[in-house]
Amino acid sequence: MAALLLVLVVACALFVGVLLWVVCSHFFTAHIPAAVDHPVKLWVLSCLFQLLVTWGTILEKLRICSMPQFVSFLHDLPPLKQDPEVVVKDLRFGTIPVKLYRPRAASSGLRPGIVFYHGGGTIMGSLKLYHRTCCCLSRESDSVVLAVGYRKAPQHKFPSPIRDCMVATIHFLRSLDAYGVDPARVAVCGDSVGGSVAVVLCQQLLDRSDLPKIRAQILVYAALQVVDFQLPSCQQNKDVPLLSWDFTFRCICYYLDVNPVWKSTIMEHAHVPADLWEKYRKWLGSENIPKRFKKRGYQPVPPATPNENACLETNLLLDLMNSPLIAEDAVISRLPEACIVSCEYDLLRDNSLLYKKRLEDLGVPVTWHHMEDGFHGVLNTLDMGYLQFPCSRRIMDIMVHFIKGL
């Protein structure tokens, strides 16, 4: 009995110690923008997330489970909230789990179709975590939504997640009649890394004459390149929750098997051969970012001398399936119209701005909305009660309005 009591005391002390360490360290390191609606809420949300990551890291060091596994497990613990207006089916396309969302009310004709790829840096996120988002999207836009449960890192590294999304998307496109979907109104949609997947699949499916054409791409604070991390938004928001530079790099290491020793090298973009940087600069250069987005402070940093070893070991970062923003003009110019949502306090904000400019310069129609009070991951707070942010509702309204206009 005494031994059990001692274990409980030690466990409680450890829990309290980790909690205090997270709260105190967060107080000094995290940057909570004053312009964000309800900054205290963001601080609480960020602390909770960091607490999960810290405990996951401890368990990873103890070789019990990986940090992403632990965080995903806790994310998926709460029971799903059923929506009486939406019919949800759990299916498998081969070995790939998917969820199909359809409005319960009868439709007089075919509905738009949306293939949704969730975010989470390829290491987190799940069908369950995004259930509320997909229910809301299906109900309010009167669309059939297919959410893809792709495999994630670190167990399944590049290109497994993209391959899963590709297979599920093709299966869906070949079965539109069975789901009552209009083949002329199919959109791909995703947030964060899910937005990257959406763009990659648009590019990959361009020449597939055996499949219905993708009508539109809907991208919410998408991760579209891992080449340049000295853009204005990277400098301004590197410590803003919920996506700091440290966490971004950790995702890259898990997914692309990049050695952590290259962190500073990648930050200085010394992992890009000089000739390739000259090519990419016309698309990625900060001169393509409007001046108003540099007002919060920006210091141009010239590329460091390329590190040959880093170039060889991190070359997957330049793969078009990880950096679709650097595809050739001949590809970008043929992509479907886009609805792009960017957030001011997001390390990835300028990915959206650069992609918007490339599309517009090449004649592709773009609908763009910028959330002045938004931050990365805010869409996930939809229907989270106290922790919901007004910005999440506005983003959902934008997506719904765009889909209805297809």
Reduce the secondary structure of 287-333 to three states and give it as a string.
Answer: HHCCHHHHCCCCCCCCCCCCCHHHHHHCHHHHCCCCCHHHCCHHHHC
Q: What is the pLDDT of residues 361-387, one digit of tens each?
A: 999 999 999 999 999 999 999 988 889
The catalytic position among 83, 191, 228, 346 is 346
Quote the tokens at residue 303.
Answer: 């590329």
Share of the chain above pLDDT 90, in %: 83
Whole-Å CA distances, 354 to 81, 132, 164, 284, 357: 37, 30, 27, 7, 5
Active site residue 192: yes
Q: Which residues are CB-neighbours of 334 under 8 A, at least 6 positions away?
A: 206
Q: Which helix (H) or strand (E) holds 373?
A: strand 366-375
Measured in whole angstroms, the distance separating CA 70 from the mean position of its chain's CA atoms is 19
C-alpha 117/C-alpha 129 separation (Å) is 12
Nearest to 160 by CA among 65, 227, 66, 255: 255
Q: Does position 37 have pLDDT exceeding 60, yes or no?
A: yes
How many CB atoms within 10 Å of residue 238? 16
pLDDT attached to residue 304 = 87
Active site residue 171: no
C-alpha 281/C-alpha 275 separation (Å) is 10
What letter would DSSP give residue 385?
Answer: G
Quote the tokens at residue 63.
Answer: 């070789």
The catalytic position among 126, 192, 196, 342 is 192
C-alpha torsion sign, points 191, 197, 201, 203: positive
Between 19 and 87, the higher pLDDT residue: 87
pTM confidence score: 0.95
pLDDT attached to residue 16 = 63
The catalytic position among 118, 164, 376, 392 is 376
CATH number of 83-406: 3.40.50.1820
Q: Which of 139-153, 266-280, 347-361 has the lowest mean pLDDT?
A: 266-280
